[in-house]
Structure 1
Amino acid sequence: MKQEKLPTPLRGIVPPMVTPLLSNDALDVNGLEKLIEHILGGGVHGLFILGTTGEAPNLSYHLRHELVKRTCEQVAGRVPVLVGITDTVVSESLRLANTAAEAGAAAVVSAPPYYFTPSQDELVHYYKHLADRLPLPLFLYNMPSHTKVSFAPATVKAIAKHPNVVGLKDSSGNTVYFQLMCNALKDNPDFSLLIGPEEVTAEAVLMGGHGGVNGGANLFPQLYVDLYEAALTKDFELIGTLQNHVLEISSHLYTVSSCGTSYLKGVKAALSVLGICSDFMAEPHQSYQAEEKLKIRGYLKEIKSNMQGQYQSTVNL
């Protein structure tokens, strides 16, 4: 299987892909193919599967391995594929990492094992030992809202000394933390610092970050690529215009309900409305019903109208 070489540092927009499902243990294969082509068509710089947006903790191991194989086969080396291997069982993380390597993925991504909260010293020991055994480069994944622990900047700096640890995705939403991380890693120019929350992607790039892992890029990938490039060139007028589109997406599509998965339900419902893939959510979560989907459709019409012909889907709403 062709494997895309991982740039060091990895830069740009690396969408965290949703996992199109037909049921709790069946992929929406046609939807997966359409979604991958839709995202890659926006000029993104990589693809991240089996993260939070991919519902990884709620997917069976069989499904996770199948998704890795199918995704890598279709991407076929056009961009680097990053595979989430977060788990409470290290042997399962390693098994999935081996599948990823065999399929042609470029790197793996790991958030701290959840449920029991590790100390900072335990994180250093765990990730150095994990990196020793991985067949692919490793990105750390800071997701304190879900794992109950945040990587301290000193912890990341210590782990980053391992030659197989190549970057960090920060989804804390704390831009002060991200700036501290940029400062802590300033002497390691090959280490990639990527931001999760799309509302602050431009800000993160301006302060020295390398790009964004933005859920909205499932829907409008070129928008986020253009925002990243505008931040690189410090085109503040264009940043302002594109930032308004990004904020409109997050403030409307991600807030239809007040549940903890409102963001993900909104992205999946919007993809369904656009005719790209199924919006089935893995249990225990449920996809939006007709009333919520009608709101999503209305918001999509409004968003696309405000884009004035840019970033338009070919699907009529």
Structure 2
Amino acid sequence: MNTEKKFQGTIVPVVAPLAHDYKLDKEAVERIFSHLYKSNASPFILGTTGESASLPQSFKEDYIKTAAKIRTKDVKLYAGISSNIVEDSIEFAKLCFDEGVDAVAATLPTYYHLSEDQMKRYFLELADGIPGPLIVYNIPATTHMSIPLSLMDELSQHPSIVGAKDSERSEKRLDECLNLWKNRSDFSYFLGWAAKSAHALINGADGLVPSTGNIAPSIYSAMFQAVLQKDYNLAFHYQIQSDRLGHLYQHDRSLGESLWALKVLMNELGLCESTMMPPLSGLSLTEENELRKGFHELIKREKITLNLLSHAS
């Protein structure tokens, strides 16, 4: 883990905090960001966890401007620009950088299956068209395509492409990513697979992008410190806490259902409402109550520290 790279650390893919009328809950954004800052975590808005595929453009622009106003200047702000329309992604990236976003991330478009050459042309067009750093985001669970590592390594030579976020569930691919980029001072590797966080950090990853960081960013801050101190047993202790929290809201749920469950837990902490942007929606009140109860039992049993603010408890 190279702590001197420009882009590194815990980057939390923040939910889209919605009021009951589906507008942006700006006070919730402030609470969530403050919660992250207590654990030295950076916010990444408008990603998969942030329901970006379901949000209207006006909401995205409001979110960017709100986040930019309340951000702490010494903490980086990341934003997703993914779209099926290249021009829209470029124009939105320009807005992001105008508002002070430090780096943007983009997945592949999600409608057509792309050849490797088409993937390359797509990311090069983005990188050439936006006025700031770009992170290539590989997530086959939503795009239904995997970006070949050979292509990602080729793209990493572009001066505007500064990192990769990889959420593909493959230990072989994870280790290959680490071997490719852990010694690159100009390129950062972020893991988007929370179950392998400790392994990745111990073996040279520059950062993590865990959705569980929305509720317990302190776990990943502590994991980072344990790795820096070469206390790997302690790092895996925090990995177990991460795994059990993730299991609580993700197990036996679809991606959309798990995002609702995550918001329920955040609501239990006073961070935001559990409202989802259609077509996603919540599950039953019975399941919600069981989730809340299980959450309190888990954090008490595992002695998980949440570092909550006084007004978010």
TM-score by length of 1: 0.92
Long gaps (5+) in structure 1:
1-6
Q: Which residue of 2 is the match for residue 80 of structure 1?
A: 76
What are the superposed Cα offsets for residues 176-230 of structure 1, whole Å, 9 maximum, x if unpaired? 1121122233563321100112111111112221110011111011111111222
What are the superposed Cα offsets for residues 47-102 of structure 1, whole Å, 9 maximum, x if unpaired? 21110000000000110111011011110423111110000001110121111111
Q: 1:201 aligns with which of 193, 197, 201?
A: 197
| Residue 91 (1) aligns with residue 83 (2) | no
Q: What secondary structure does 1:139 align onto?
A: strand
| Residue 229 (1) aligns with residue 219 (2) | no
- Matched-pair contact (CA < 8 Å) for 1:23–1:282: no
Q: Which residue of 2 is the match for residue 259 of structure 1?
A: 254
Q: Which residue of 1 is the match for residue 246 of structure 2?
A: 250
Q: 1:136 aligns with which of 110, 121, 132?
A: 132
Q: CA separation in 2, counterparts of 1:96 and 1:137?
A: 14
Q: CA separation in 1, counterparts of 2:236 and 2:123?
A: 39
Q: Which residue of 2 is the match for residue 300 of structure 1?
A: 295
The alignment's C-alpha RMSD in Å is 1.9
- Matched-pair contact (CA < 8 Å) for 1:16–1:53: yes
Q: Between 284-293 and 11-20, report the one with greater CA deviation.
A: 284-293
| Residue 184 (1) aligns with residue 180 (2) | yes
Q: CA separation in 1, counterparts of 2:151 and 2:21?
A: 37
**1:288 offset after TM fit, Å?**
3.4
Q: CA separation in 2, counterparts of 1:100 and 1:76?
A: 16
**1:260 offset after TM fit, Å?**
3.3
- Matched-pair contact (CA < 8 Å) for 2:257–2:280: no
Q: Which residue of 1 is the match for residue 267 of structure 2?
A: 272
Q: Which residue of 2 is the match for residue 174 of structure 1?
A: 170
Q: CA separation in 2, counterparts of 1:58 and 1:24?
A: 15
TM-score by length of 2: 0.93
Q: Which residue of 2 is the match for residue 29 of structure 1?
A: 26
Q: Which residue of 2 is the match for residue 54 of structure 1?
A: 50
- Matched-pair contact (CA < 8 Å) for 1:9–1:167: no
Q: What secondary structure does 1:22 align onto?
A: coil
**1:312 offset after TM fit, Å?**
5.2
Q: 1:286 aligns with which of 281, 284, 289?
A: 281
Q: 1:12 aligns with which of 4, 9, 22?
A: 9
Q: CA separation in 2, counterparts of 1:316 and 1:66?
A: 23
Q: How many aligned positions are there? A: 309
What are the superposed Cα offsets for residues 280-309 of structure 1, whole Å, 9 maximum, x if unpaired? 111111123321221121122112212437
Quick one: percent identity of the two aligned structures? 26
Task: Write the letter of the residue equivalent to 2:272.
Answer: C
Q: What secondary structure does 1:261 align onto?
A: helix
- Matched-pair contact (CA < 8 Å) for 2:189–2:207: yes
- Matched-pair contact (CA < 8 Å) for 2:181–2:188: no
Q: Which residue of 1 is the match for residue 214 of structure 2?
A: 218
| Residue 107 (1) aligns with residue 128 (2) | no
Q: Between 293-302 and 151-160, report the one with greater CA deviation.
A: 293-302
Q: 1:38 aligns with which of 16, 35, 39?
A: 35
What are the superposed Cα offsets for residues 238-279 of structure 1, whole Å, 9 maximum, x if unpaired? 123212211110111222x53332321221110111111111
**1:151 offset after TM fit, Å?**
1.3
Q: Which runs of at least 4 in structure 1 moved beyond 4 Å after TM superposition?
A: 314-317
Q: Which residue of 2 is the match for residue 4 of structure 1?
A: none
Q: CA separation in 1, counterparts of 2:96 and 2:135?
A: 14
Q: 2:119 aligns with which of 120, 123, 135?
A: 123
Task: Write the letter of the residue equivalent to 1:50.
Answer: L
Long gaps (5+) in structure 2:
none
Q: CA separation in 1, counterparts of 2:107 and 2:139?
A: 7
